[in-house]
Structure 1
Amino acid sequence: MAAGLCATAGLVTIAVLQQPLKRQPIAERPGLLIKPEMLDWLQQAVDGPTEENAKTPAPPVNKTWDSPLLKSCPVVDPGLQQRLVAMPLQLSRINAAPTNYGERVHLDAQGQRIDPTPAVIVLHETVYSLGSAINTFTTPHPNDADQASYHTLVGQKGEIVQVVDPSKRAYGAGHSAFDGRWVFTSKHFSGSLNNFALHVSLETPPDGATSAQKHSGYTPAQYDALSRVLADWMVRYKIEPHAITTHRHVDLGNARSDPRSFDWQQLQTRLTALGLVC
């Protein structure tokens, strides 16, 4: 009798093992605390890509980025070079609200492996004051449409404020791409370069708090501080000068025009003095 029970149990076990395994959706698994926006790509990581979602859509054709930094090679100013090399990279750090940034993901919404290493630097402007930008990024925004952040802010006096650690994904650009590359981190959102981008924003002068296409521009202290921020990122992540671009260029919705009144020659002179251009 015992042997018969054992044999029966064995047959039951084999029968169960031969049945197709049914995966429980990640969202229904007990004990897992996962942000909703991460569920789609994480489920893909478990189930694998399907024929329907196996390929990431190619970004729309965008104009080629012709970097202003590479159009000439200015003569190095020894005095400027000495000053910038001696200039410390002093950061003030604040903590953006967790809703306003995220993790850099290694799998996209289609379950494909992607490289989240920063590969492009996007220049922005705040439009309003430095304090206003800080207040915006430290305020929780539960609605996706309101969430925004940059990694670093540069004030008119040369203040450097880190808002989001470069290892994280700042929400500096929405529908965007650069050099034919974007990432879908969720099937609910359009393609974006945020997963492989670094975002830095210059404080806009008071006369720029309008919808005008130009304003009085940025200060020498801002260009100095910006060059030090960029030099750190370029060296740390091996980013070429060509990959320093603007929000105006990467924005696919044609809704952004920043940074307005940006003087590329001022930046080029400084990055050349630091040995990073030409």
Structure 2
Amino acid sequence: MRFKDWATRVLLISLMFAALIMVLLIGRGTKLHNNQITTYHPSNPRVTAWSQYPQVQFQSAKEPEKKTQRVIKSPVKTNKPLARYVTTQAFAHYRPNYQVASVDPSNYGERYTQDVNGIIVNNQPIVVLHETGYSASSAINFFQVAHNDESVQASYHALVKLDGVVVYLVPPEKRAFGAANSVFETPEGVETVQTNPNLPASVNNFAYHVSLETPPDSYDASSQQTHSGYTEAQYKSLAWLIAQSQVPDYRITTHHLVDRSGKKVDPINFDGRKFLSLLNTFRQVRPIYRVSK
């Protein structure tokens, strides 16, 4: 091979490597900034949905008033049996598209270990279901604007668009401002935490907030008669998202049920039976035993 031909090939290879390096640098420079939404295909593994959310010791697969716990006999001596949720094949086969949208830091905060009086709080997580009221984009735009007024600050951890796309907003380990002046009722009493002396107590400190996008024909709807409901894709993606948590069925609630302002009615026309049926196809209970020493 002549020196001229050899040099030409070396130059071409060098140019190819230089182009590749430029592409990689440009890719790193286009990370998510404020007021941007990044869309991903379900095969992209960059997002870990919300498995980071604090794990919950599963109490019962039945209603909360049924306090008996499912016990499976074992030849091995064990302590108190525990169980956890595991996802199913149906979960693995359904992979919704997702997006990641930034939220202004003024609209979310840290989860507290103590309330305003210094009392240690250790509430088990709950899931609170909402709806946007208007389009998903309008909600996201609001969350991306800085709000100095603490009574206006608001956010969800995630929302589900009409087409089933899951939008991740606030990291699960953070406290989203989804339900001011709120209480979660249980057979053992009420749960709420006050983290700001100037605002009413709320469930935000132990809640994971998920919202469904409101259908266009139901903007400003205030009753079931004026609300057309949600899409099949929304129900499936919502169940898929929550199936990744360890929050039991009876600690999944709605904004309407936890609200104490008397103003919140969302999510309107939500089919709880359909949702729970899908959720139970996406996850199942698996007992865990700890061997006594």
Whether TM-score is above 0.5 comes out as: yes
The alpha carbon displacement at 1:110 in A equals 0.3
The alpha carbon displacement at 1:84 in A equals 3.7
Q: Which residue of 2 aligns with 1:96?
A: 103
SS of 2:256's equivalent in the other structure is helix
Q: Give runs of aligned pairs for residues 30-179 of structure 1, distance below 5 A.
A: 83-88=90-95, 90-115=97-122, 119-179=125-185
Q: Which residue of 2 aligns with 1:251?
A: 259
1:137–1:149 Cα contact (<8 Å) kept: yes
2 CA distance for matches of 1:171 and 1:139?
A: 14
Query: What amino acid is aligned across from residue 256 of structure 2 in structure 1?
Result: R
TM-score by length of structure 1 reads 0.66
2 CA distance for matches of 1:188 and 1:194?
A: 15
Q: 2:245 aligned with 1:266, yes or no? A: no
Q: 1:252 to 1:139 in 2, by over 3 A?
A: same
Q: For 1:102-147, what per-residue CA distance to the aligned partner results, in whole angstroms no more than 9, with x for missing partners?
A: 000111100111126x511000000100111110111111111211
TM-score by length of structure 2 reads 0.63
1 CA distance for matches of 2:223 and 2:240?
A: 27
Query: What amino acid is aligned across from residue 113 of structure 2 in structure 1?
Result: H
Query: RMSD over aligned Cα, in angstroms?
Result: 2.0
2:222–2:268 Cα contact (<8 Å) kept: no
Q: Give runs of aligned pairs for residues 14-33 of structure 1, distance below 5 A.
A: none
SS of 2:184's equivalent in the other structure is coil
1:97–1:138 Cα contact (<8 Å) kept: yes
SS of 1:145's equivalent in the other structure is coil
Query: What amino acid is aligned across from residue 219 of structure 1 in structure 2?
Result: T
Which has the larger share of strand? 2
Q: 2:191 aligned with 1:191, yes or no? A: no
Give me the identity figure in percent: 40
2 CA distance for matches of 1:275 and 1:151?
A: 21
Query: What amino acid is aligned across from residue 207 of structure 2 in structure 1?
Result: A
Query: What amino acid is aligned across from residue 110 of structure 1 in structure 2?
Result: N
Q: For 1:74-126, what per-residue CA distance to the aligned partner results, in whole angstroms no more than 9, with x for missing partners?
A: xxxxxxx755431236532111101100000111100111126x511000000
Query: What amino acid is aligned across from residue 248 of structure 2 in structure 1?
Result: E
2 CA distance for matches of 1:139 and 1:196?
A: 24
Q: Which residue of 2 aligns with 1:10?
A: none
Q: For 1:220-249, what per-residue CA distance to the aligned partner results, in whole angstroms no more than 9, with x for missing partners?
A: 10011000111012xxxx311000000000
Q: Which residue of 2 aligns with 1:219?
A: 231
Query: What amino acid is aligned across from residue 231 of structure 2 in structure 1?
Result: T
Structure 1: 5+ residue stretches without partners: 1-65, 68-80
SS of 1:175's equivalent in the other structure is coil
Residues paired across the two proteins, number: 195
Which has the larger share of helix? 1
Q: For 1:149-207, what per-residue CA distance to the aligned partner results, in whole angstroms no more than 9, with x for missing partners?
A: 00001000001001100100000000001020100102211111100000000000011
Query: What amino acid is aligned across from residue 197 of structure 1 in structure 2?
Result: A
SS of 2:138's equivalent in the other structure is helix
1 CA distance for matches of 2:163 and 2:270?
A: 16
1 CA distance for matches of 2:100 and 2:126?
A: 22
1:89–1:229 Cα contact (<8 Å) kept: no
1:84–1:224 Cα contact (<8 Å) kept: no
2:179–2:255 Cα contact (<8 Å) kept: yes
Q: Which residue of 2 aligns with 1:5?
A: none
Query: What amino acid is aligned across from residue 167 of structure 1 in structure 2?
Result: E
SS of 2:197's equivalent in the other structure is coil
2 CA distance for matches of 1:276 and 1:186?
A: 38
2 CA distance for matches of 1:211 and 1:217?
A: 11
2 CA distance for matches of 1:167 and 1:230?
A: 15
SS of 1:93's equivalent in the other structure is strand
